[in-house]
Structure formats: structure tokens, C-alpha cells
Amino acid sequence: MITRSKYLLSLFAALFLILLGIQGYFIYKTYQVKERDIYRSIHDQLTGYTDKLEEIGVKEMRDDSLQRIILRYYNKQINKKDFLASFIKDKKATGERLSHYINNHYRNIGYDISTRIQYNSIIHLPDSIKLIDQPITVYETKNKVKNPKISSTGTWETSSTQRDSKNNHVERKDTFLVKSKTEFEIANIKSIVFKELSLLIICCIALLFAVLLLYISTVKNLIKQQKQVEVLHTVVDNISHEFKTPIATLKIASKALKKEWNPDILPLIDRQIIRLENLMLQLHQDEILTEITAVKPEDWGFFVQDLAFTYPAIDFDFKNIVSKVLPFDKNLMETIIKNLCENSVKYGSSIVKIKINNTPNNLEIEISDNGSGIENKELKNIFEKFYRIQSNNIHNTKGLGLGLYIVKKIITKYNGKISVFSQLKTGTTFKITIPCESIHPKIDDTQNFS
């Protein structure tokens, strides 16, 4: 049972970890898809705008300035430094328009977009001479593009026609192939995606938390049920022994009647039948009996007589100093006396002393024996339900562990007190004090049952 429970707990934990991994992988993939969708949407919008912006910028250049700048550089009329400066200057207006567009359309809604437009190559056709050996950054936002997530490339031609300086009737056409690249990056893409996925993430976390709570609750219930099963097994294993005393008494009485008629045995049989009924009620209901039968002075002697009849080898030294009917339930008082005395017998006593006394305000019961005694560390636990004294984690005597628990419960019902004093290999003494009304003067009734 325990091994199977451990297996189930391990399986539950493994499945929870698998579920946790699936949820994490699902969120990660959803994040990637959402990030691509955002970049694709921004890319389509910015690419369409930059294409139009490039066309507008070219049209606004006076006297074909773009072609003139490229041509002058090709003809080595200006150096590379002047070429780049002139080139970027002519693109300044285009960059300002792009910056204004980004601020108006994206920054106001929380998108921190970085953009960069480069010319990767400028080639003179048809001789395929490259005018630049590295990309020229035409425009870049204030926030630099560090790790571009998406980019687009474009190719277009620009041409110019001029007359030969030596022959005015000869025209020369210069064509240049320009390859450009536009790159985008959203600096706060993670916060944007997580914000849009916040509801999904919260739902996933709530689901995992609910499964975890269910797991913890299941483990607690399983542990609780295991303890209950262990207690039930203990009860089932020892129930026959709990009924041993009254059954043994009835057997002995039956044998005695077969040998010879003895009218004193019939009341003993009746008392043991009642005892069995009370044990059943205590075992199954664990409740104090509701029918009250007051205890008479002679009843105390009957309690001990039954014990002496059942355990003929034990010397029961009984002293009764009570002469009045007391306001206590007879069945409960019998349970106190017999449970304590039978405990003494179980733990090796040969002599059990019972003293019943009263003061004007209290009933006093003292039961002592010469048994094996109880260790001090065990004394605080002996009144707990189902607790049994053990040695080296082994129970040396059989029982349900209910006897002293029931005794304590009865005494508590009557607002009484019980104390125990014990010494190993010497014996144990239980002292009980229960408050009651004033009673008649005491009569010393000392008897010995052996």
C-alpha cells in the first residue's frame, strides 16, 4: 500500500512537471509567433512608406542632384568624403519625414522603433564598376539599430544623359544600379508581446497553480487516509484481545456451572454481558453512555470480584471506604476500575491494590501495582487515543490503546483529575479525584480477592 502510494505520488509529480514543460513550451512558441506577427506588420507598413518616401525624395531633388552627385564621384570630380557628405545631405529631408512618421504612428502607442536605411552598393553600368566598397547609411533613428530583427532590400536604377565636351553632337548616357536595405528593430518588443499575452500567461499560471493545489490536497488526504488505515488495521488486529476478559470470564463461569450449581455465577454472567455491550458502544461510537445508573457501595466490590474471577492468579487487594450511592454512572465507574486494573495485569503485575475513598467533596480512586512500570517519556502520551507503550518500536502487549483514553475521557466528563506515578521494574500508581456532593460518614470495608 505504502509502496503503491509512493509510486502514485511520483507519477503525479512527473506528470505535473510534464504539464509545466508543455505550458512553458506553448507560451514560448506563442511568444515567437506573436513577435513575428508584430514585426511583419511593422515591416509591411514601414516598407511601403519608405518606398513612397524614396520616390518623393528623388522627385524633390533639384536638377537630378542624385545622379549628378553619383556621376561627379564616378568622374572623380569630388572625393569620397565630399561624395558621402553631399549624398547624406540630399537625403536629410527624407530622413526627417521618416522620423516624423515613426513618432506619430508608433511611438505614441508604445512602440520604440529603430530604423536604418543603407545603400549597400552603387554600380556603374555597363562596365560594372563599384563606386562604394561598404554600405552607406542614408538614415538612422536616434536609437541605433543594434540587432535588426527584419530587413528588406531593394534595387533601382538612376541614369543621366550628357553631351560630350569635345563633340556637342554626341550624347553619353550614364546608368547606375543602386541596391538599398532597410532594417527595423523594436527595442521594447518583449514588453509589448508579454503585454498582449498577459491574459494567456495568467490563465496558464492559474491552471498550473490549481493543479498544484489539487496535488497538495491529494497528498494530504492520502497521508490522512493512510494513517486512518493504519489505525483501522491496528484495531482489527487487536479487537479479539480487547474482548478477551469478558469472554474469558463467561467461559470460566460456564465451566463452573457445568460442574456444580452456584447462584453467585449468574449475576457475574449478567455483568459480563453488560460489559460486552458497553465495550461495543465504546469501540464503535466512542461516546459516553447516556443511560445513567448510579453506583451503589456494593458495586465497587462486584467490579473487583469479576476481575478476581477472570484473573485467579492475580492478588487483588481491595479497600472500599464508601457507604452511599454516588452520583456517577455505574458503567463508567466500572470502565475506570477494570481498564486500569487490566492494564496492570497486562504489564506484569501480580498484586493490584484498589482503594476507593471519599471526602466531603470528592471521590478518590487509587490503583497501584507491582508491574514493569512506565518510562517517564511515555507518561505524557499514555492517555492519547490508540497510543500503546512500546519498547524499541515494538509493542510488547496487545490492546487497542483505548483503555486509558476512555478513562481520561470519563474523568474529564466529571471535571475530575487523574495523575500517574511510575517507576521501572517497581510499579505504577494511578490517582483519580472526581468532585461530588457530600456523602454519609465513611465505613471501612477492607477485602482481599485472591
- The domains of the chain are located at 19-163+171-196, 243-449
pLDDT tens, position by position, 111-159: 888 888 888 888 877 777 777 778 888 777 777 888 887 777 777 777 6
Q: Are 149 and 189 in contact (CB under 8 A)?
A: yes
Smallest CA-to-CA distance from 445 within 327, 246, 234, 296 is with: 296
125 in Cβ contact with 175 (< 8 Å): yes
Give the pLDDT band (50/70/90) at residue 61. Answer: very low
Nearest-5° Cα angle at 162, 157 to 167: 145
pLDDT at 430 over 60: yes
Residue 220, C-beta contacts closer than 8 angstroms, at least 6 positions apart = none
408 vs 104, residue with greater confidence: 408
pLDDT score of 288: 46
State yes or no: pLDDT of 400 exceeds 90: no
Collect all residues with Cβ–Cβ distance below 8 Å to 399 and sequence separation of at least 6.
Answer: 238, 241, 242, 346, 388
| 100 or 353, which is more confident | 353
Rounded CA gap, 398 and 244, in Å? 11
The distance between the two most distant Cα atoms of the chain, rounded to a whole number of Å, is: 162
| Nearest one of 372, 338, 348, 349 to 248, comparing CA atoms | 338
pLDDT value at position 65?
63
Average pLDDT over residues 177-191: 84
Q: Among candidates 300, 293, 302, which has minimal Cα distance to 264?
A: 302
Q: What is the pLDDT of residue 188?
A: 85
- Predicted confidence (pLDDT) at residue 305 exceeds the cutoff of 60: yes
Residue 75 — φ and ψ, nearest 5°? -80, 5
Residue 373: half-sphere exposure toward Cβ, Cα within 13 Å: 10
> What pLDDT, on the 0 to 100 scale, is given for residue 355?
93
Which is nearest to 158 in space by CA: 137, 136, 179? 179
Q: What is the pLDDT of residue 366?
A: 94
At residue 170, the pLDDT reads 52
Contacts for 378-381 with beta carbons within 8 Å, 24 or more apart? 379/420, 379/422
Identify which of 310, 370, 379 has the alpha carbon closest to the alpha carbon of residue 338: 310
Parallel/antiparallel/unpaired status of strands 129-130 and 136-140: unpaired
Q: Answer with the residue of higher pLDDT: 24 or 446.
A: 24
* pLDDT higher than threshold 70 for residue 69: yes
Residue 447's pLDDT is what? 53
pLDDT for the residue 196: 86
Range with top average pLDDT, 92-96, 222-226, 282-286, 341-345? 341-345
- pLDDT tens digit sequence for 204-238: 889 888 888 887 887 788 788 877 777 776 565 55
Residue 237: predicted pLDDT: 52
pLDDT bucket at 449, cuts 50 / 70 / 90: low
28-55 mean pLDDT? 80
Q: Pick the residue with more confidence: 80 or 379?
A: 379
Task: Look over the chain and give the mean of its residue pLDDT values, rounded to a whole number.
Answer: 77
Q: Which of 413, 418, 334, 415 is nearest to 382 (CA)?
A: 418
Burial class of 394 by CB neighbour count within 10 A (0 to 12, 13 to 18, 19+): exposed
Residue-wise pLDDT tens digits, 309-323: 888 888 999 999 887
- The radius of gyration of the chain from alpha carbons, rounded to an integer in Å, stands at 51
| CA separation for the pair 15, 214 (Å, rounded) | 13
pLDDT given for residue 362 in this prediction: 87
Which whole number is the average pLDDT over 393-403? 56
pTM reported for the whole predicted model: 0.45
The CATH number corresponding to 243-449 among 3.40.190.10, 3.30.565.10, 3.30.530.20, 3.30.200.20 equals 3.30.565.10
What's the pLDDT score for residue 3? 65
Residue 301 confidence (pLDDT) above 80: yes
| Range with top average pLDDT, 111-125, 203-217, 248-262, 381-395 | 203-217
